[in-house]
Amino acid sequence: MQHGSAYFIEEVSTVEETHTLSVLVDNEPGVLARVIGLFSGRGYNIDSLTVSETSHEEHISRITIVTTATPQVIQQIRSQLGRLVPIHEVADLSIDQIAPLERELAMIKVSGTGEKRVEALRLADAFRATVIDATAEHFVFEMTGRQQKIEQFVSIMQPLGLVEVCRTGVIALRRGPEKT
C-alpha cells in the first residue's frame, strides 16, 4: 500500500527560459512606471524593453518585454501583469507553437585601419549590416535581426576594434492573421 499526500504536488522547474511578452496598455502617463515597478518590486529581470504607440485613435501602446525566469515565475509575471488596471492584454509570444517574428535594431561602432578595417567591412556585408557613418578611422554599422544575430556580429567585431553598441530592444509580433 502506498502512503503519501492526497494533494497533487506540481513538479517545480529550476530551468530558466527566455520569454517575449507583448503587453497592450492605455497610452497614458505612468503606465510604463507601473509595469516596471511590478518587475523591480518582485526582483524580476528585464532583458529587453520597447514601448511604442500602436493605435493613436484608441490611445493604445505596446510594451514588448523579454525576460528570463523559471516557468513558474513567468506565469506569475503574466498573471500579475494581467491584473494591472491600464493593461488590455498580456500575450506570451514564446508559448506559441510557431515562433514569433522578432527583430531588433542596433548601431555598432568599429574603429580600425588596414586589414582589420577590410575584415570588418567583409563581415558586415556577410551579416547584411549597412554602413551609416564612416571616416578613415571608424565605421558605424546599422543592423536589424534577431537578438542572437546581433550578439554574434558584436562578438565578431570585438577583436576588430569594437568601440560601442547601441540597441533598441526586441519588437515582436505573432505570425498569422490574429492580432496580438
Residue type, 52: S
As a whole number, mean pLDDT of residues 152-180 equals: 92
pLDDT over 70 at 2, yes or no = no
Element housing 18 (H / E) = strand 17-26
As a whole number, mean pLDDT of residues 15-31 equals: 92
State pLDDT tens for residues 99-109.
889 999 999 99
pLDDT over 80 at 118, yes or no = yes
- Confidence band, pLDDT 50/70/90 cuts, at residue 13: confident
pLDDT score of 90: 93
5 Cβ contact partners less than 8 Å away, ≥ 6 residues apart? none
pLDDT over 60 at 1, yes or no = no
Residue type, 26: D
As a whole number, mean pLDDT of residues 97-123 equals: 93
pLDDT score of 132: 98
Distance, C-alpha 114 to centroid of its chain: 35
Domains of the chain by range and CATH?
17-95 (3.30.70.260), 101-172 (3.30.70.1150)
pLDDT over 70 at 7, yes or no = no
Place of cell 492526497: 6
CB 134 within 8 A of CB 93: no
pLDDT score of 94: 87
- Please state the three-class secondary structure of 20-82 as a single string: EEEEEEECCCCHHHHHHHHHHHHCCCCCEEEEEEEECCCCEEEEEEEEEECHHHHHHHHHHHH
pLDDT score of 6: 60
Mean pLDDT of the chain: 90
pLDDT over 80 at 175, yes or no = yes
State pLDDT tens for residues 47-87.
999 999 998 888 999 999 999 999 999 999 999 999 988 89
